[in-house]
């Protein structure tokens, strides 16, 4: 397993190199550079703009620029420089990463904890449909099933920022003050305390609903589909036939096999750390890295954009690797050949 992980890690290097070329090319396809926006500013002379472009090698041919960028990353660990902020990119990403990771991990957890049971429940409810003589319990299950599916469709169809806007509107109409951000203004820079945690919790449920809901719906339907696949398999019928308790059949035989595709999905959701929630973050005023990426793209602050794009690609590759490893540990059929 270790050698497999190592091989995969080594395999990432050429992939990352190709991705870096693509990232660089995409950023360079935008006409002009960051400093061009100063051309219409009477305070900045043309000579000055040329000097800036020269200093950051922006006046060199693109190929040369690419290799300078690569050299700085590989040999100096230097991701470049934010032109707008006159600061190294690394420290700027560093100071935004904490809240971003916190929020993404939390939304991921919330949506999984809701989606997996709901998916199982709706899949099992399917059995009630086929029951020729429906009991009251069947009818309730069918009703709940319709409701869940309806909820699933609706929340998949509504974009997260719209949910966010509706929630904010609802809060305002009820004279609540937790309409954005993670804290009330007085708690933002206060030291940690119980009051601050409470304040955080009173703000946190809004983004959890807005961002998490979309994930819940998608995952729930995934889980439901793969449960339905599994539940009609021969081995499940065999398990039932040999007299195992329904609970054991469900968890040990059905869910355990049905959850595999979701593990791969989880691996793919790592890059959403960076770019997943840009719009909702702006609407809800969350201090995540998404809006930072957006601003850097608009401003052509190229090293920031390239660093974040590369970071996002790296997370995708790592996420896939982690998912594969996790998959192997839950599913003995998966081998590392």
Partner 1 sequence: MQRTSLFLTLTALLAAPATAQAQAQTKGNVPASLFQSIGKKGGTLTLSLVSSPQSFNYFAVLDNNSYTVLNNVFDRLITLDPLTNKLYPDLAESWSMTPDGRTATLKLRKGVKWSDGQTFDADDVMFTLDDLASNTGLKANQSALFKIGKEPLKFTKVDQYTVKVTAPKPYGAMLQVLTFVPILPQHKLAKYNPVKDPDAFSKAWTTNTPLTDIVGTGPYVLSKYTVDQKVALVRNPYSWRRDPAGNVLPYMDKLEYLIIKSPDAQIASFRAGQLDSAPISGSQFPDLKRQELGGAKFRVIRGVGLNNPPVHLAFNQDAKDANLKKAFSDVKFRQALEYAVNRPRIVDTVFNGLASNPGFGVAPVSEWFNPLTKTMLSEFDLKKAATRLDALGYRDTNGDGVRNFSGGGPNVEFSLLHAADSSIMPGIATIIQSDFGKVGIKVNLQGVTGSTVLPTAMAGNFEAALNSFGDQPDPQLRKDIWQPGGALNYWHRAVQPAHEGDTPNLSAMQPYEKQIYTLFAQAEASGDQKKRKQWYDQWQLLFARNIPVIMIAKPDSVAAFQARIGNFYVKDNAVITSNYTMYEK
Site residues for partner 1 per CB under 8 A: 32, 36-48, 55, 84-87, 91, 95-96, 165, 168, 171-172, 175-186, 188-189, 282-285, 287, 291-292, 295, 298
What tokens appear for 37 in the block?
A: 């926006």
Pick between residue 88 and residue 218 the one whose CB is nearest to partner 1.
Answer: 88
- How far is residue 282's CA from residue 164's CA, in Å, rounded to a whole number? 10
Least distance from partner 1 to the Cβ atom of residue 307, Å:
17
Residue 217 half-sphere exposure, CB side, CA atoms within 13 Å?
18
Which one, 55 or 139, has the nearer CB to partner 1? Answer: 55
- Output the DSSP codes for 251-267: IIIIIHHHTHHHHHHHH
**Could you tell me the smallest distance in angstroms from the CB atom of residue 76 to partner 1?**
17
Nearest to 322 by CA among 99, 108, 97: 108
**Cα 32 off chain centre by:** 31
**Closer residue to partner 1 in complex, CB, 16/44:** 44
Radius of gyration of the chain (CA): 25
Nearest CA to 209 among 151, 265, 143?
A: 151
Q: How far is the CB of 110 from partner 1 (least distance, A)?
A: 22
CB closer to partner 1, 148 vs 209? 209
HSE (side-chain half, CA atoms, 13 Å) at 303:
25
Residue that is written with structure tokens 């809800």 in the block: 284
- Beta strands in the chain, from DSSP E residues, in sequence order: 81-82, 87-88
CB of 81 to partner 1, least distance (A): 10
Residue 305: CB minimum distance to partner 1, A: 16
Give the pair of three-digit tokens for residue 4: 């497999």
Exposure string for 75-98, b = 16+ CB within 10 A, e = fewer? eeeebbbbbeeeebbeebbeebee
What distance in Å separates the CA atoms of residue 122 and residue 106, rounded to the nearest whole number? 24
The least distance separating partner 1 from the CB of residue 83, rounded to whole angstroms, comes to 9
Between 95 and 329, whose beta carbon lies closer to partner 1?
95
To partner 1, the closest distance from the beta carbon of 5 in angstroms equals: 35
Identify which of residues 8 and 96 has a Cβ nearer to partner 1 in the complex: 96
Q: Residue 68 or residue 171: which is nearer to partner 1 going by CB?
A: 171
Q: Which DSSP category does 238 fall into?
A: H
Cα–Cα dist 20/69, whole Å: 10
Look up residue 14 and give its two tokens: 């050429």
Of the two residues 189 and 337, which places its CB atom closer to partner 1 in the complex? 189
Buried b (16+ CB within 10 A) or exposed e, 10-48: eebeeeeeebbeebbeebeeeeebbbeebeeeeeeeeee
Smallest distance from partner 1 to CB 212, Å: 19
Minimum distance from residue 283 beta carbon to partner 1 (Å)? 6
Nearer to partner 1, 66 or 187 (CB): 187
């Amino acid at each position: 397993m270790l050698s497999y992980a190592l091989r995969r890690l080594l395999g990432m290097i050429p992939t990352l190199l190709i991705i870096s070329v693509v990232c660089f090319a995409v950023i360079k396809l935008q006409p002009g550079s960051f400093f061009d926006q100063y051309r219409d500013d009477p305070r900045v002379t043309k000579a000055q703009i040329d000097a800036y472009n020269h200093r950051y090698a922006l006046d060199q041919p693109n190929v040369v620029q690419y290799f300078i960028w690569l050299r700085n990353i590989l040999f100096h660990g230097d991701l470049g420089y934010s032109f707008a902020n006159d600061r190294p990119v690394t420290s700027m990403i560093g100071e935004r990463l904490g809240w971003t990771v916190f929020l993404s991990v939390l939304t991921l957890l919330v949506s999984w904890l809701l989606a997996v049971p709901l998916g199982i429940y709706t899949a099992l409810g399917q059995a009630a449909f086929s029951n020729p003589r429906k009991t009251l319990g069947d009818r309730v299950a069918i009703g709940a099933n319709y409701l869940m599916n309806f909820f699933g469709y609706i929340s998949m169809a509504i974009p997260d920022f719209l949910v966010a806007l509706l929630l904010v509107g609802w809060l305002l109409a009820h004279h609540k003050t937790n309409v954005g951000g993670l804290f009330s203004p007085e708690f933002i820079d206060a030291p940690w305390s119980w009051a601050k945690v409470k304040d955080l919790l009173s703000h946190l449920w809004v983004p959890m609903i807005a961002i998490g809901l979309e994930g819940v719906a998608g995952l729930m339907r995934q889980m439901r589909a793969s449960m339905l696949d599994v539940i009609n398999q021969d081995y499940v019928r065999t398990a039932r036939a040999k007299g195992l308790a329904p609970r054991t059949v469900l968890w040990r035989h059905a869910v355990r096999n049905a959850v595999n595709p979701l593990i791969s999905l989880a691996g793919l959701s790592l890059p959403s750390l960076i770019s997943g929630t840009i719009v909702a973050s702006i609407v809800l005023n969350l201090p995540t890295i998404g809006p930072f990426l957006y601003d850097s793209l608009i401003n052509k602050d190229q090293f920031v954009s390239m660093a974040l794009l590369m970071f996002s690609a790296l997370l995708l590759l790592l996420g896939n690797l982690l998912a594969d490893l996790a998959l192997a540990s839950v599913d003995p059929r998966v081998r590392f050949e």
